[in-house]
Chains A and B, each alone.
Chain A
């Protein structure tokens, strides 16, 4: 593996992508788990497929299309959420399928032989390009800055958003930036594990971290470290056994969660 790391650029890019992704997912994962936005982020991620299709149809970078669709979905769901009464579950579920359906139709409208979309659906970390990496690095910096600079505001908002609103915190802004960051995290994950497998990498590290620590900051840090471990571990295993990388990463992260859970249970006894 070390040899491969030195010799092949695509392995280096893959590793860098894995680390950047883990940082974003670790932080956003903890937040969406606390805010109970997991299903909503699934909806945002799947809507992005429509953007991938549009990118192919119109001939621009599919990942940028995904970014646009994900952000629109996030803002749309946010607006529905603010109007109490309309059920955001239902809207989320509809957008989820609607985005996928749009993607399929866009691809079908393309002239000529349809492209292989497996890498968008199930991820292929080994196909990460430099452009992808720049996009991921940019997203990573944005998310880190927003969360770290306003850390105390986030904590107030996450604990009790109603109270935070009463004392005058800009909760609407925080809410929308959270949704948009979720969209960014979803897009960054598409390359690594693919649209279909995103939810596991968003939730598994955060869930394992929540079993171990009761401090928000530590939880985020631990979840980032776990994510990096899963991604590098998954990358190594998939390289040696020549199996799909995205799926390997997901299997490792979910198994690790259950291992931590079992360890905690036995330690308590």
Chain B
């Protein structure tokens, strides 16, 4: 199978602080990759590097064989809903439509009827049909998160990148979101950063554990037992390498890989 995303020896740093060290990872087309790791382990940075939001210090990221510059139409990004201002005056339909303006600037832009219909379809796909005219301040956290997935889908991406889509949503929404992602995965490659173990056991096909560098990358047989072993094993692995720092981090780390 073709590689959707291929990362070779990627290094990313913020000033003197190294965020990602020597990451090599390939994601096949149609894969559903879960990325786990303690807070501050560089999970979100990895997503941002793939999206071209943070520059790589060295190394290479290829998306369907091309460099980052040609990726605008291929990658769909779903941020955490808590990153956004929920009081912003915009309706659900308008949020979805924002992803249909691509590249540059659009003087005197009006959305076509076809685009509006497509937007409605993406809302339907995430179970929000009929919400189009509501203001986003009327949505629950889970609904807003699904709206952000609909926005990413409206652009017609081949790869969907999600940053903790189930953080701070209620259990029902969480199930809805996982169900939705499972369905979407039939057509779209998915890369999801998550802290949530249930996700790993249910849908995810491959797992990457990250702590500055790639600690584990493999194909777990997705039984409860394997996952719980996975949850422990990378921590041990890291502890051998860098004992003091990691143990200190783990003191308060309720979420770790």
Give Cα A158 to B85, complex, Å. Answer: 10
Is A225 located at the chain interface by the 8 A CB criterion?
no
Q: B1-35: which have CB < 8 Å to A? A: 14-15
Q: How far is the CA of A121 from the CA of B14 in the complex (A)?
A: 42
Chain B residues contacting A163 (CB-CB under 8 Å) are 77, 79, 98-99, 151
A165 to B75, CA, bound (A): 12
The residue that A153 contacts in the complex, of B75, B106, B151, with Cβ under 8 A, is: B106
Q: CB within 8 Å of A: which of B78-122? A: 79, 83-85, 88-91, 94-95, 98-99, 101-111
Given contacts A159-B95, A164-B98, whether A215 and B89 have CB atoms under 8 Å apart is yes
Q: Is B137 an interface residue (CB 8 A)?
A: yes
A/B interface sample: 21 pairs, CB < 8 A: A34-B85, A34-B88, A85-B14, A151-B109, A152-B106, A152-B109, A155-B94, A159-B98, A160-B84, A160-B98, A162-B79, A166-B53, A166-B77, A167-B99, A167-B103, A168-B102, A168-B103, A169-B101, A169-B105, A170-B104, A214-B135
Distance between Cα atoms of A216 and B95 in the complex (Å): 13
| Contact between chains at B107 and A216 (CB < 8 Å) | no
A203 to B: closest C-beta gap in Å: 15
Instruction: Enumerate chain A residues within 8 angstroms of B14, measured Cβ to Cβ.
Output: 84-85
> What class of interface size applies to chain A in its complex with B?
20 to 34
Which residue of B is nearest A215, CB measured? B89
Q: Which residues of B contact A (CB under 8 A)?
A: 14-15, 51-53, 72, 75, 77, 79, 83-85, 88-91, 94-95, 98-99, 101-111, 135, 137, 151, 155
Q: Are A149 and B53 in contact (CB under 8 A)?
A: no
CB distance from B100 to the nearest CB of A (A): 9
Instruction: Assess whether A214 is in contact with B102, with CB atoms less than 8 Å apart.
Output: no
Q: Given that A34-B88, A153-B101, A155-B98 are contacting pairs, would A160 and B79 also be in contact in the complex, using a CB cutoff of 8 Å?
A: yes
- Whether a CB of chain B sits under 8 angstroms from the CB of A46 is no
Which residue in B72, B90, B105, B110 is a CB contact (below 8 Å) of A166? B72
Contact status A152-B90, CB under 8 Å: no
20 additional A-B pairs beyond A84-B14, A152-B101, A153-B106, beta carbons within 8 Å, are A34-B85, A150-B107, A150-B109, A153-B105, A155-B90, A155-B94, A158-B88, A163-B98, A165-B53, A166-B52, A166-B75, A166-B77, A167-B99, A167-B103, A168-B102, A170-B104, A174-B105, A210-B89, A214-B89, A215-B89
Residues of A contacting B88 with CB < 8 Å?
34, 158-159
Does the CB pair B104–A169 fall under 8 Å?
A: yes
Q: Which of A85, A153, A219 has the most CB of B within 10 A?
A: A153
Report Cα–Cα, A216/B94, bound state, in Å: 11
Closest chain-A Cβ to B234's Cβ sits at a distance in Å of 29
Look across to chain B and name the residue whose beta carbon is closest to the beta carbon of A152. B109
A residues in contact with B137, CB < 8 Å: 214
Bound form: Cα–Cα A85–B109 in Å? 35
Knowing A85-B14, A166-B77 touch, does A156 contact B84 (C-beta < 8 A)?
no
- A225 CB → nearest B CB, Å: 17
Q: Is the CB of A167 within 8 A of B72?
A: yes
A220 to B84 alpha-carbon distance, docked (Å): 21
Closest to A35 in B: B85
> Cβ of A81 < 8 Å from any Cβ of B?
no
Report chain A residues within 8 Å CB of B105: 150, 153, 169-170, 173-174
Cβ 8 A contact of A168, one of B15, B72, B107: B72
Report chain B residues within 8 Å CB of A214.
89, 135, 137
In whole angstroms, what is the CA distance A173 to B84 when docked? Answer: 21
| Shortest Cβ gap from A264 to chain B (Å) | 14
- Minimum CB–CB distance from A181 to chain B (whole Å) comes to 15
Query: At the interface, yes or no: A9 with Cβ under 8 Å from chain B?
Result: no
- The answer to whether residues A162 and B99 also contact, given A150-B106, A214-B135, A219-B89 and a CB cut-off of 8 A, is no
Chain A residues positioned under 8 Å from B111 (CB to CB): 152
A213 lies within 8 A of chain B by Cβ: yes
A34 to B135, CA, bound (A): 15
